[in-house]
Amino acid sequence: MELSPAISATYQESYDVQWIANLRLRYKNLVSLGTAYTSDSKISILVGLTTTNLSINYAYDIYTSDLSDFDVHAHEIVLGINLFNKYKLKPRFW
């Protein structure tokens, strides 16, 4: 099992500081689970499955803004195919 907590911040002139905090857990280099929270009131739930040549990841974003008319939920699916992996190297990012 691997646990990966992270916090990052971005600053741009004339904008507020944007930050994100996340926590990811990977089990046997195969299954990954995680969650994230951003300063613009977004919560993300992450699920992934990774093998040597293929990875499938799903993210669900929930915006928790105080604006009553702003009710957006986003789904994201990422498919990664590792081509020409002669040495059977594992993917670097999860």
Tell me if 59 sits within 8 A of 43, measured CB to CB: no
Judged against a pLDDT cut of 70, whether residue 92 lies above it is answered with no
Q: Considering the entire predicted model, what is its pTM?
A: 0.75
Residues 29-72 pLDDT 10s = 889 999 999 987 889 999 999 887 888 999 999 888 776 566 67
The answer to whether the CB of 37 falls within 8 A of the CB of 29 is no
Domain ranges of the chain: 2-81
Position 69 scores a pLDDT of 62
d(C-alpha 84, C-alpha 49), whole Å: 20
- What pLDDT was estimated at residue 44? 94
Q: Does pLDDT of 93 surpass 90?
A: no
Residue ranges of the alpha helices (H) in the chain? none
